[in-house]
Structure 1
Amino acid sequence: MKNKKRAVAGVLALGVGIGWLTLGGTHAVLEKTSSTEFCLSCHTMEAAYKEYQGSVHFSNTKGIRAECADCHIPTDTVDYLATKIRATKDIYHEFVTGKINTEEKYESHRAEMAETVWAQLRENDSATCRSCHDQDAMETYDQSADARKMHEYAVANNQTCIDCHKGVAHLLPEAKMDSSALQHLVETAQATPAGTEVVYPLQVTPMGEFGTINPATPLTVVAENGNQRTVRIDGYQMAGAEQVMYMGEGKRAVIAMVSEQGQQALTTGEYKEDPYGNKWRPVSLEANIEQPVLASTEPLWAYAEQLDNVYCSTCHAKIPGHHFTVNAWPSVAKSMGDRTAISAEDLEILTKYFQYNAKDVVGH
């Protein structure tokens, strides 16, 4: 009887030992391979680590550090195991293909790697972000007005953390716009048929000694002579800023900059004071232009959407034009544009795209 009890106890002890060795060992291996030290054992992670060291997740006033696993490995059991299995490809590329084993290769694949991680975070609703950050725990009154507004917008529109916080620990992929897109836009303008009654500049367009016209401004064609068009611009002028033509009364979307000669050629209406004490009057100007123009804004807005995808959506989720007013968009677009390599010309097109689709302009 005693021998039987000993045998049972031995089997149980053996089972516990095997269980400890297998389950415990597996757990130990998974934990070890989730450490930042293990990640750095691959030399291709050195660039990513240096970027991370310069981020607020590495060093901050709170003394709280998020390690690699905190951001890249979800704690949910299924997602945790799936992520660990997916990570085996990194070992394969490290030791077999050498896919990112040089700085040049790493940069060439940066966008691809970033998109992969962003897609995973969108799929799991930024689970690793939410393991530390909780919307309900945010003291929004301590945030800037813009941050508070964007967080409220994100909640209302079911956006997730990664939609806006893509560059929190690593450098963003370099934003590049294919030059062929602009060339296609120019070719479309060059094909605008004679006899088109209303045309739209695709870039800042000189009007002789009268000044310049901004992209997307609707121009009524008065006469044509070969490549030259005589056009009429209708807009508004504010007292004290007579060199500027605006989209509408109180709507500070600049449609043209007018020289002294241009101001003298204006046809003007009467000034009327707005609720803020500013005086506005309707004005129109006829001028000659020679640069190609578009028959509609559709191709220009298509180009602007590409600019939005490249220079804006690389950093955060798309912000629709109706999110801000026509007067708010220029400062918002400029502050964002200053953080990118977008050209001044493309930024002007993008700004006009937002302004013409602003919440106080759409349907006007």
Structure 2
Amino acid sequence: MANPFIAVVRFMKKPVGLGVGALIGVVVGVVGWGGFNTAMEATSSLEFCTSCHEMRDNVFQEYKKTIHYSNPAGVRAVCSDCHVPKDWSHKIIRKVQASKEVWGKITGVIDTPEKFESKRLELAKHEWARMKASDSRECRNCHSFEAMDFTHQRPKASKQMQKAFKEGGTCIDCHKGIAHKLPDMSGGFRSKMKDLKAEGLKNGGKAEKSWALTTSPAWGDLDKAAAGGSGEGRILPAAPVTVLKLSGDLAQVRIDGWQQAGAERLIVALPGKRIMLAAVSAALAETAQVKSTRHDDETDLDWKEASIVLWMPKANLTADQKALWAYGEEMFDASCGACHSPAPPGHFPANQWVGIVNDMKANTSLEEDEVRFLQAYLQNHAQDVVGGH
């Protein structure tokens, strides 16, 4: 009896067999490709995106209250319009990346409202970074600077939009929270400060080169420091100090800086620049050791290079400058980047940052001492301090 497999092979070797094989291949390819595309489109539908309770009970409910869901024109942007690229290559990459989200579903990473809220900031940051990297590609599928009639926008919006257009800004710079509730932006940087303070309780004052975490009371001698109270002065956030010795919970530190002639109670980091390190009583100011004097032509003032020795709580010190500036950077991004794309710290000189911070602080939820730290961070990274542009 002839082997049917051999018969098929012989048939396929013939011209007609090759034609039949090619036809079958085309049909299978078309069906497979069509099925694959159908699956791709199905997994991009609003129904699919909201089929799990994590999305349906959280972000979907927020989205339903926005103009992207319901508007006078009756045009709806669904989840995939904002979160899945239209072009084939980027869409495939995004779908592959989504496999991590499937794993999150399986492991229950955000399967309760409490878990979701604890992850909201992290999830939002990932998506903002993706949109920033693509120049808000998905937003631009519907919105275009070139097609905008700025005269029909509110004056403030028109001004900001035209500014962004000229400076190469991107949609997500200003439109965070456009379809979902904004996360608590302070959670990230306040968590960093919490870690820094915990480290300060363990190791504060052990390193000779240290920095103040927050505004700290300061005293001229150990007895007064041990007695406590409000202090004879203040050491300001991010002020660099040299630790001289420790006594119990206190550290004796030296601050090196500059005093303006006639205003010696304030010690600043550089002559002519209002980067404040400490403010002390008149009596304490007289104990400062003057090393040299200089006339600053820009301010037409005389300055004294000086050092002053003070006592302060050692728990308010850190030796990790990198972590301290990371805290400042996140505070800046979270507080100043929620509504617009902020200018980088090196864009302005140190003294100009003082006015900018004072003007804008009312638009943030920062506490008074956090504002002081933010100003110190910006000034220490300013154009005329670290050579910004």
Give yes or no for TM over 0.5: yes
TM superposition shift of 1:35: 4.2
Distance 2:116 2:165 in 1: 32
Equivalent residue, structure 2, for 1:355: 379
TM superposition shift of 1:305: 1.1
Q: Does 2:86 align with 1:75? A: yes
TM superposition shift of 1:357: 1.8
TM superposition shift of 1:233: 5.3
Equivalent residue, structure 2, for 1:252: 274
Q: Deviations over 1:139-187 (max 9, x none)?
A: 6994349x937973x66xxxx6557755443234442415333332454
Distance 2:379 2:279 in 1: 17
For these two proteins, the number of residue pairs brought into alignment is 331
Distance 1:169 1:289 in 2: 51
Q: TM-score w.r.t. structure 2 length?
A: 0.60
Return the letter of the residue paired with 2:140.
Answer: R
Question: Which secondary structure state, in structure 2, belongs to the residue aligned with residue 257 of structure 1?
Answer: strand
Equivalent residue, structure 2, for 1:322: 346
Equivalent residue, structure 2, for 1:117: 127
For the 8 Å contact 2:271–2:296, the answer to whether it is kept is no
Distance 2:94 2:355 in 1: 41
For the 8 Å contact 2:347–2:383, the answer to whether it is kept is yes
Equivalent residue, structure 2, for 1:305: 326
Structure 2 CA distance for partners of 1:31 and 1:252, relative to 1, 3 Å: same
Distance 1:59 1:280 in 2: 62
Q: Does 2:198 align with 1:183? A: yes
For the 8 Å contact 2:261–2:303, the answer to whether it is kept is no
Q: Does 2:206 align with 1:206? A: no
Matches within 5 A, 1:41-56: 41-45=51-55, 46-53=57-64
Structure 2 CA distance for partners of 1:58 and 1:273, relative to 1, 3 Å: farther
Distance 1:323 1:189 in 2: 33
Structure 2 CA distance for partners of 1:263 and 1:111, relative to 1, 3 Å: closer
For the 8 Å contact 2:331–2:374, the answer to whether it is kept is no
For the 8 Å contact 2:328–2:377, the answer to whether it is kept is no
Q: Deviations over 1:306-336 (max 9, x none)?
A: 4424772695789653133212334655747
TM superposition shift of 1:48: 0.6
Distance 1:60 1:244 in 2: 57
Matches within 5 A, 1:22-41: 34-36=44-46, 38-41=48-51
Q: Deviations over 1:111-166 (max 9, x none)?
A: 45435534543564432123234466676994349x937973x66xxxx6557755
Matches within 5 A, 1:96-245: 99-111=109-121, 113-118=123-128, 120-121=130-131, 124-134=134-144, 142-144=158-160, 148=163, 152=167, 162=172, 166-174=176-184, 175-176=187-188, 177-178=191-192, 179-185=194-200, 187-193=202-208, 200-208=211-219, 210-218=232-240, 229=252, 231=254, 234-237=257-260, 244-245=266-267
Equivalent residue, structure 1, for 2:8: none
TM superposition shift of 1:39: 3.4
Distance 1:41 1:104 in 2: 20
For the 8 Å contact 2:210–2:319, the answer to whether it is kept is no
Distance 1:52 1:69 in 2: 13
Distance 1:237 1:20 in 2: 80
Equivalent residue, structure 1, for 2:313: 291
Structure 2 CA distance for partners of 1:288 and 1:172, relative to 1, 3 Å: same
For the 8 Å contact 1:185–1:303, the answer to whether it is kept is no
Question: Which secondary structure state, in structure 2, belongs to the residue aligned with residue 190 of structure 1?
Answer: coil
Return the letter of the residue paired with 1:190.
Answer: G
Return the letter of the residue paired with 2:321.
Answer: L
Distance 2:322 2:362 in 1: 18
TM superposition shift of 1:301: 4.1
TM superposition shift of 1:361: 1.5
TM superposition shift of 1:274: 7.5
TM superposition shift of 1:76: 0.5
Identity of aligned residues (%): 30
Distance 1:186 1:346 in 2: 20
* Structure 2: unaligned runs, 5 residues or longer: 1-27, 151-155, 220-230
Question: Which secondary structure state, in structure 2, belongs to the residue aligned with residue 360 of structure 1?
Answer: helix
